Amino acid sequence: MSEPPALPVTFRPKRTRAVLLGAGTVIFVVITVIAFLLPKLSPGERASFVFTGALLFGVLLLLSRPKVVADDSGVSVVNIATSRCLAWAEIVQVTLRPGDPWVFLNLSDGSSLPALGIQPGIAREQAVADAKALRALVDARTPQGD
């Protein structure tokens, strides 16, 4: 068993987030520049270009939102459109099997919660290390481990 990290700790897919935010910024800037460079556009059409760029940036911003935050009180899982706070005792197991798109938290009520903040995507080694660290925290903070 590995040594758990010091609390509080935040796990998030940093490379994926950087790619999404970088692409969103570039898309917004390019669409906005095009809107102002095209001479025959009306002000309303220019505004619709800028709005479309902002909308695309907003979608990519939303996709970059996932994270998992562990502190003394438990674990907060922030996914794309939802967030959930869990007490340490609610988490039975942390799993990241080969081929899984992200970590799953098996809960004491028999359900499973996806934690998109730890995903192999473009940084598999980091995701595996983060999953092991979260597993070590759960083992250290849950009575009698599993």
Per residue in 5-44, pLDDT (tens digit) is 999 999 999 999 999 999 999 999 999 999 999 999 999 9
pTM reported for the whole predicted model: 0.86
Helix, coil or strand: residue 7: coil
Interatomic CA distance for residues 94 and 132, integer angstroms: 8
**Model confidence over 70-106: pLDDT tens digits?**
999 999 999 999 999 999 999 999 999 999 999 999 9
pLDDT at 123: 85
Q: Are strands 103-107 and 112-115 parallel, antiparallel or unpaired?
A: antiparallel
DSSP 40-62: T--HHHHHHHHHHHHHHHHHHHH
